[in-house]
Amino acid sequence: MTNIARFEEELKHFDWSIARHELGYKEGQPLNIGWYCTDRICQTGRAKKLAMIWENHAGEVRRFTFDDMRVLTNTFAAHLRGLGVQPGDRVCVFMDRVPELYIGFLAVLKLGAIVQPLFSAFGDESLLTRLESSGAKVVLTQHKHGLKVRKIRDQLPALETSVIIDAGDRKLADGEVGFDLDNAPKVNDFESYPTTPETPSVLHYTSGTTGQPKGALHVHNSVFSQYLTASWVLDLQESDVYWCTADPGWVTGTSYGIIGPWANGTTQAILDAGFSADRWYGFIAKHKITVWYSAPTAIRLLMKEGEEAPKRHELSSLRHLASVGEPLNAEAVIWSQKVLGLPFHDTFWQTETGSIVITNMPGLPIKPGSMGKPFPGIVATVVDPKTFEPFDHPGAVGLIALRPGWPSMFRQYWNKPEIYASKFVNGWYLSGDRASIDADGYYWFVGRDDDVINTGGHLVGPFEIESALLEHPAVAESAAIGMPDPVNMEVPKAFIALKQGYEPNDDLELEIMNFCRKHLSPLAMPQAIEFVTSLPKNRSGKIMRRVLHAKEWGEEVGDISTLEDE
């Protein structure tokens, strides 16, 4: 039975126990994500199945079976235990997308320690903020990134050891040790720490808007949500080769680039190289990718390259596409259906939710531009931002709210209990995102609560404006913010990056303005357009509108450590 058919059947009597049953978990047993993603897969007869196909920027390819993953995570975990890592210690993983990142991540979990994944592109100040907050005891890193750690080491009293995975013959500083996983004596048997469902597992730091980044703490119980959503939403099946383009420094890269797919026993392809349309399409063709999970920003960049690029590659292996990171504009769905023969399925979730909560499920008719419907087991609504009571009529714009209790919900903001408590009101978790629900139960994204434009007391969502702009043939990317206005408080302004072959000029600006008038209400019409070469985005692909807003209003930008070009 396909996942889609199973979904239709199971939806009638859904319970999260479905995941526990399929994973063979019984109440009271240990629940360790590291073990479930490696040893358990081997015990189900798939030890020789490919777990990881890894390719770097030079085209070098390495392959790892699930038995390789089991032994290598054991080996890494044993080494960390020898360094004194104890259950509950924070261990930071600070690497490029090399195999040791993925293996080390699971090894830390096998130890019962808390893994703290961070973007390898962080500078030393961004690194300091997060390591100081978490009190990390150990950092797993490469030599080039270890140099950043050296600069701030004297400001991190909790940090005991930096493990350099590619030390070679280099001279190491005090507190650094080399560890060559490939040549280390292999550990076949290692008893994973008997973590419980509520044992802390992953500490992900979100980028702050005005204050410091917050550490969202997850627990091993999250595997149930991540396993089932990877199976049902991404439709992962036994024969699939799956590619998630997200970096594990971001929650997508751990929930659906490590835990969800490997808990399902899925073969993953990983590309440690920068973006180029031909490289990406070539990677899909070379490894016969079947399921592809990417981001709207990447999809728009592919659109920018035109329709000829995919024709240069054999992409017939693809059977299911999904998107995450920002709302997926309708134009991108229509484009992928036309050019790739498959629509991208939008998925909505957050660092705090740990897994997909609202989605376009395979088999569910897609309304281009819609987020879809709540995943089974997720109780969702939109609430009035003032009363926090659910709206009772379709089309009302409010805050997306979720009923707490799904397995992967974060359990705290690290050392910030007051901020954590503020996210829960009237029995709802408040996401900070605004949306409406139509008469068919589909959710339509409006914008982050702090991105919504208040023009003369009327609220306008940036997504509506950006989606209209993207329908113009010259527009590759767009972002809308409110700019100061003496009469209406603020009015919409659009920032636009053009496709290749187009140059900014007054005639094109007028043409785009006239185009918008046919697609937008007067309130949502941009009152100004600024052409830019690129938009500020974080490394997960989200457009950082607040950076544009702060510059427009002359305000403090806040935390920009996750900016792509920082």
Please write the tens of the pLDDT for every residue from 376-407: 999 999 999 999 999 989 999 999 999 999 99
Q: Which two tokens stand for residue 382?
A: 């939109």
Q: Which two tokens stand for residue 246?
A: 């997200």
What's the pLDDT at 9? 64
Q: Is 515 exposed, middle or buried (0-12, 13-18, 19+ CB in 10 A)?
A: middle
pLDDT at 211: 55
Question: Is the separation of the CB atoms in 220 and 411 below 8 Å?
Answer: no
Burial class (CB in 10 A: 0-12, 13-18, 19+), 189: exposed
Q: What is the mean pLDDT of the chain?
A: 91
Q: What pLDDT sits at residue 4? A: 52
Q: Which of 497, 539, 565 is nearest to 325 (CA)?
A: 539
Query: From CA 91, how far away is CA 75, in angstroms rounded?
Result: 16
C-alpha span between 459 and 73 (Å, rounded):
51
Check whether 258 has a pLDDT greater than 60: yes
Count other C-beta atoms under 10 Å from residue 456's C-beta. Answer: 12
Which residue shows structure tokens 């960390």? 80
DSSP character string of 422-443 = HTEETTEEEEEEEEEE-TTS-E
Give the pLDDT band of residue 73 (cuts 50, 70, 90): very high
Q: Do the strands 291-294 and 241-244 form a parallel or antiparallel pair, or are they unpaired?
A: parallel
Within 13 Å of residue 316, how many CA atoms lie on the same side as its CB? 1
Tell me the Cα Rg of the chain. Answer: 23
Return d(Cα 448, Cα 400) in angstroms, integer: 10
User: How much is the pLDDT for 566?
Assistant: 43
pLDDT tier, 213 (very low <50, low <70, confident <90, very high otherwise): confident
Position 411 scores a pLDDT of 98
Which helix or strand (DSSP H or E) is residue 529 part of? strand 528-531
pLDDT greater at residue 296 or residue 143: 143
The torsion angle over the Cα atoms of residues 229, 231, 232 and 235, rounded to 10 degrees, is: 130
Q: What is the pLDDT of residue 210?
A: 45
In the predicted structure, residue 209 carries a pLDDT above the cut 50: no
Q: Across residues 335-364, what is the average pLDDT? A: 95
Q: For 223, list phi and psi in degrees, rounded to 5.
A: -60, -30
The per-residue pLDDT for 192 is 97
Q: Give all strands of the β-sheet with 291-294 in edge-to-edge order.
A: 61-65, 50-56, 267-272, 241-244, 291-294, 320-323, 344-348, 358-359, 373-374
Q: What is the predicted pLDDT for the residue at 464? A: 78
Q: Please, which residues bridge with residue 161 across strands?
A: 138
**Residue 563 and residue 566: Cα distance in Å, rounded?**
5
Q: Is the pLDDT of residue 495 over 80?
A: yes
* pLDDT above 70 for 238: yes
Rounded Cα–Cα distance for residues 296 and 357 (Å): 18
Per the model's pLDDT, the better-predicted residue between 50 and 274 turns out to be: 50
Residue 125's pLDDT is 80
**Which residue's structure tokens are 């009571």?**
389
- Over residues 223-251, the mean pLDDT reads 96
Mind listing the pLDDT tens digit for each residue in 118-142? 988 888 888 998 999 999 999 999 9
Q: What residue spans of 288-430 are helical by DSSP H?
A: 296-305, 308-311, 330-339, 417-422
Region 435-452: mean pLDDT is 87
Most confident of 293-302, 503-512, 546-555: 503-512
Q: How confident is the model at residue 95 (pLDDT cuts 50, 70, 90)?
A: very high
Phi first, then psi, for residue 423 (nearest 5°) are -80, -10
Of 279, 342, 278, 341, give the one whose Cα is nearest residue 309: 278
Share of the chain above pLDDT 90, in %: 74
Q: Where in the chain is the domain with CATH 3.40.50.980?
A: 65-220
In this prediction, residue 457 has a pLDDT band, given cuts at 50, 70 and 90, of: low
Crossing angle, helix 143-152 and helix 124-134, to 10 degrees?
70
CA atoms of 293 and 250, how far apart (whole Å) = 14
DSSP code of residue 524:
G
Q: Are 245 and 294 in contact (CB under 8 A)?
A: yes
* Dihedrals phi, psi of 358, to nearest 5 degrees: -130, 135
Query: Averaged over 182-192, what is the pLDDT?
Result: 97
**Pick from 429, 240, 275: which is nearest to 349 by CA?**
429
Q: Which residues pair with 333 in a beta bridge?
A: none
* DSSP label of 45: I
User: What fold characterizes domain 451-553?
Assistant: GMP Synthetase; Chain A, domain 3 (3.30.300)
Distance CA(164)–CA(175), nearest Å, equals: 10
- Which residue spans of the chain are classified as CATH 3.30.300.30? 451-553
Minimum mean pLDDT range among 3-12, 110-119, 238-247: 3-12
- For CA atoms 201, 76, 93, 282, give the dihedral sign: negative
Q: So what's the architecture of 65-220 in CATH?
A: 3-Layer(aba) Sandwich (3.40)
List alpha helices for 211-273, DSSP H.
Answer: 222-232, 251-254, 260-263
Select, from the ranges 122-136, 318-332, 348-362, the one with the highest average predicted confidence (pLDDT): 348-362
Q: Is the pLDDT of residue 416 over 50?
A: yes
Angle of CA points 462, 463, 464, to nearest 5°: 90
Predicted local confidence at residue 1, as pLDDT: 42
